[in-house]
Structure formats: structure tokens, C-alpha cells
Amino acid sequence: MWRDALLVAGKDLRIELRSRVALWQVLPVAVLSLVLYAFALGPVRQTLASAAPGLFWLAVLFSTVLATQRSFAIEAGEGTRDGLRVSGIDPAGVFLGKAAAVAAELAVLQIVLWAAMTLLFGVHLHTVWLALVASFLATIGLASAGTLYGALSAGLRVRETLLPLLVLPVLAPVLLAASRAWSGALTGSVSSGLSWLRVLGPFAVVYLVIGIVLYGPLLETA
Amino acid sequence: MSVRPEIPSAAAPRPRWLRIVGVAAVVSTAATVWLGLWVTPPDKIQGNLVRLVYLHPPIAWVALYLAFGLAALSSLLYLWRRTRSLFWDRLAAASVEVGVVFNALTLATGMLWGRPTWGVWWTWDARLTSTALLLVLFVGYLALRRVPADPEVRARRCAVAALIAFVDVPIVHFSVIWWQTLHQGATVLNSNLSPTIHGSMAWTLLLGFIALTLVFVWMVGVRYRIEVLADRTDAEHLEVSLAERWAEGDLDIAAIAAIAATNASNGGTGASLRPPTRVGP
């Protein structure tokens, strides 16, 4: 399973590296959204700084939708999906691999977004390790839940409009918990930030397990 | 040879128990309305507003526990190989659809109650927020269901989607509660909104629960039947149209053949055109 996951993740990431869609389309949109949020809220530094963690995770959330859509779009054509199925790769491995590739993309995205946020909004992390742990758990949760729904809506004609409706309410707890944890990390109130890891951790574990169990039946449906 | 199928609606009469439940639902709802509006006394503090207590909690009970619980259970039973049957899929679909209606009604009646008692239509209370998210989650399920697909494929896809969504419900709930307690402290809803209820009020509330449960059962029953009929129509529609088209085709070809035959008798060579054997009765 793990070897298959590595293979699939490597394949997805190689395609991304060569096509550069994630790099030149998803990433700029995420950074652009930060600028747009600033337009919506006004240029006052204090307002922006207090809203920063929420806006950061909102940008990550919407990018998750784009990244998972992209992750299944590369398999839409030329029977790639069927090829994956007949190649004898464990469905759980496919799930883990695709989720890992999405997670890697999201990690890069967060680094860039964080740099942009520091420059544009003038905020600084007080407790870096808390932000890192929160990011790690949230990314696993976002990637696995996103991949599940991506597989669910892959191959449907209405997938572009259906996926956000399905996935955003499910990801809402991650947005809530990750932005609270980050706001703890920004202000240095570690204890209040730490308590939110109790949401992020179980979310990541639950959706990883569901994905490993249910991905097989999901692959058959398309 | 295909036989022209019967019209589906004529094939499956409405089951008798459904009618009985429907009548019982109407009677008990009417009784709840009568007791709630005329017999029970107004509340000391809330006045006539308290009458919403006979409606709002039973609606919420139907939506949040009955409907979504039943949908979760049937999705699970569908995915489990031993009990896999389209019955569970249709039951899940029917109860989610009714559940979404009741969920929206829960929010609506809650807002109607909230405005005069708290002065606002909406607060970011844990219960309110998670109920609203629940509504969106299951609207997504219904949207997924509307995507045309083979019934088996759709059933599996929807069952998986329902389960992924259900797992989210407790996480949403706890995260929103923590959000509240860490952010604003206790809110209005946590104060004792429904004080201990006595006498006629208690009985009316109990009747309200029974009435809306009956309404739920009736609606799910009707919805399930529509689902069966819709699936059957989808499957048979093609055959019916094909049979009809063939029947039309027979006429056309017969007409052509008749012309050809006249031509032939006039010395042409159209005699090889023969009407085909008729398909269907």
C-alpha cells in the first residue's frame, strides 16, 4: 500500500512539476485572494492583522478545492482512471498517494501564502511550532477529505460546481480550528491554540481512515 | 422481442398503511394546533411566544435525529455487502430529502422565535451554527443525487457521500461548541429556555412530537414510493419510447411498401420492399 502510494504521489507531483498548472494558476489565485480580502476589509493594519489567520486559512481552503479538482482533472482523459484500476494498485494506495500529492502542494502553497501575508498584512508568528503542528494536521485533513470528494465527483459533468458545495461544509471545522490555532500562535496564547489541535487531529485521522476504507468502492463508481 | 411495458403508476397502488399513517398525521397535527393555540395557557414571561415550543423542538427532533439518523443507518446498510439493496438507497434519499425540509424549518421557526425573545434573527450559537452547516451538508447530498447516473452507481456514490458527511457532524458540533466557549462564553440558548412544563403544556408537547414523527413517516413513505416509480419510469421509459417509435416505423414502412406495391403493379421493381414483422403487441 505504501509503495503504491509513493508511486501515485510521485506520478501526480511529476505531472504538476511539468505542467506547472498548480504553480502558475492555483498559487497566484491564492495570493490574489489575500489582496482581495485586504480590499474588502480596508487598509487598516490592525483590522488586517486580527483577521489574518482566518483569511489565510480561507485562502488555503479554496485552494484545496482547486487542487483536488486539478488532481482528478489530470486523470479525466484517456482512460487514466481505468488504467490505474487495472494496474493492480491498491485503491488505498491510490488514495494515500493522491492525498499526499495534494498535501505537498498545499504545504508549498502555505509557505508562499505565509510569506505574502507577512509582507502584506505585517503579521509575525509568535509561536512557530504551534503554527507548524496546526498546519501539518490541517493539511492532512484538508488533503484527505478533499481527495475523497474529488474522487466522488470525478467524471461528473457538473464536478466544478458540485465539488465546492460538497467539500466546503465538510472542511468548515478545519477552517475554524486552524484559524483559531494560528491566531493563538500569532498572539502567543499557546494554551488556547493547543486546544484546537484536538479538532484538527481527529479530523485528519478520521478522514484518512475513511479514505483508506472507502476509496475502493468509490473508484468503482466512476 | 420486447413486450410493451405497463404504465408504472398503474402498477403499484399506494400501500394501505401509508394512507392510515397519513390520516393519523393529519389528525394529530390538527389536535396539536388546537391544543397549542387555544387550550394551553400563555407563558408568564414569553406570553404567546411560548406556543412555538409545541412546534420547534418536534421539528428539530425529526430533522436532526430521525431523518439524518435513518439516512446514516440506511447508507451504512447499503454499503454493507450483505444487506446491499436499492431499498436502503431509496430510504436514505427519501429521509435526507424530508430531513432537509425539516432542517430548514427548524432554522426558520428558530429564527421566528429568536427575533422577539433575543432581539436578533441569528446568533453564532453552537447549536444554530451546526444546524445551519448540517443543512448545507445535506443539500450537497441532494445535489449529488440529482446527477444522472446508473441507479447502482448513484446509490454507492451517495451512500459514501452521506457517510463522509455524517462523520463530519460530531466534529462540526464539537468544534463549534469550543469556538463558542473559547470566544464568547455561554450564550442565550444555554440559559433555560424551556422551563419545566406542566399539565396541558407537557401533553401538547408530547403530542407535537408524535404528530411530527407521523408526518415524517408519511412523507418518507410517499417519497420512497416516488423514488421507486421514478427509477422504474427511467428504466422503462426508453423501452416504451422504442416500442412506440417502432410502431410508428411500421406505419411508415407499410405506407412506403404500399406505394412500392402500386409501383410494382405499374411495372416497377419495388416488390422487394416488404413490411417487417411487427414488434410488440
Q: Please tell me the predicted confidence (pLDDT) of residue B235.
A: 76
Nearest CA in chain A to B148: A156
B75 three-state secondary structure? helix
Same domain, yes or no: B182 and B243: no
Same domain, yes or no: B36 and B136: yes
Q: Please tell me the predicted confidence (pLDDT) of residue B269.
A: 46
Q: Please tell me the predicted confidence (pLDDT) of residue B189.
A: 47
Report the alpha-carbon distance of residue B101 to residue B251 in Å, rounded.
49
What SS3 string covers chain A?
CHHHHHHHHHHHHHHHHHHCHHHHHHHHHHHHHHHHHHHHHCCCHHHHHHHHHHHHHHHHHHHHHHHHHHHHHCCCCCCHHHHHHHCCCCHHHHHHHHHHHHHHHHHHHHHHHHHHHHHHHCCCCCCHHHHHHHHHHHHHHHHHHHHHHHHHHCCCCCHHHHHHHHHHHHHHHHHHHHHHHHHHHHHCCHHHHHHCHHHHHHHHHHHHHHHHHHHHHHHHHC
The domain in which residue B86 lies consists of 16-188+195-235
Same domain, yes or no: B231 and B243: no
Same domain, yes or no: B176 and B263: no
Same domain, yes or no: B152 and B246: no
- Give A129-155 pLDDT, tens digit per residue: 999 999 999 999 999 999 999 888 877
Q: Please tell me the predicted confidence (pLDDT) of residue B191.
A: 47
Stated pTM of the model: 0.80
Q: Please tell me the predicted confidence (pLDDT) of residue B207.
A: 92
Is the CB of B172 less than 8 angstroms away from the CB of A203? Answer: no
pLDDT beyond 90 at A193: no
pLDDT above 90 coverage of chain A, percent: 45
Same domain, yes or no: B226 and B247: no
Residues of chain B falling short of pLDDT 70: 1-12, 181-198, 250-252, 264-281
- Give A58-115 pLDDT, tens digit per residue: 999 999 999 998 888 887 777 777 777 788 788 889 899 999 999 999 999 999 999 9
Q: Please tell me the predicted confidence (pLDDT) of residue A8.
A: 86
- B276 or A204, greater pLDDT: A204
Q: Which residue has the cell 448513484?
A: B154
Q: Please tell me the predicted confidence (pLDDT) of residue B89.
A: 92
Is the CB of A152 less than 8 angstroms away from the CB of B144? Answer: yes
Q: Which of B150, B81, B8 has the alpha carbon at shortest distance from A217?
A: B81
Mutation target among B100, B128, B144 for the A interface, most CBs of A within 10 A:
B144
Q: Please tell me the predicted confidence (pLDDT) of residue A19.
A: 84
Same domain, yes or no: B160 and B245: no
Same domain, yes or no: B27 and B116: yes
Task: Classify each residue of B222-235 as buried b or exposed e, where b means 16 or more C-beta atoms within 10 Å of its C-beta.
Answer: bbbbebbeebbeee
Is the CB of A169 less than 8 angstroms away from the CB of B136? Answer: yes
pLDDT beyond 90 at A2: no
Q: Please tell me the predicted confidence (pLDDT) of residue B83.
A: 86
Q: Please tell me the predicted confidence (pLDDT) of residue B196.
A: 59
The answer to whether A2 and A96 are in contact (CB under 8 A) is: yes
The answer to whether position B277 is within a domain reads no
The answer to whether position B33 is within a domain reads yes
Same domain, yes or no: B30 and B112: yes
The C-alpha cell at A100 is 499526499
Q: Please tell me the predicted confidence (pLDDT) of residue B154.
A: 86
**Cβ-nearest to A206 among B143, B165, B167:** B167
Q: Please tell me the predicted confidence (pLDDT) of residue A101.
A: 94
Q: Please tell me the predicted confidence (pLDDT) of residue B186.
A: 39
Q: How many domains does chain B have?
A: 2
Is the CB of B178 less than 8 angstroms away from the CB of A207? Answer: no
Nearest CA in chain A to B131: A169
Q: Please tell me the predicted confidence (pLDDT) of residue B184.
A: 46
Q: Please tell me the predicted confidence (pLDDT) of residue A135.
A: 95
Q: How far is B154 from chain A (nearest CA, A)?
A: 8
Q: Please tell me the predicted confidence (pLDDT) of residue B281.
A: 43
Is the CB of B143 less than 8 angstroms away from the CB of A156? Answer: no
The answer to whether position B279 is within a domain reads no
Q: How far is B83 from chain A (nearest CA, A)?
A: 15
The answer to whether position B96 is within a domain reads yes
Same domain, yes or no: B205 and B250: no
Is the CB of A173 less than 8 angstroms away from the CB of B164? Answer: no
Whether the CB of B80 is below 8 Å from some CB of chain A: the reply is no
CATH of the domain at B46: 1.20.120
The answer to whether B176 and B129 are in contact (CB under 8 A) is: yes
Is the CB of B144 less than 8 angstroms away from the CB of A177? Answer: no
Which value does ipTM take for this structure? 0.84
Nearest CA in chain B to A166: B140
Is the CB of B157 less than 8 angstroms away from the CB of A152? Answer: yes
Same domain, yes or no: B227 and B254: no
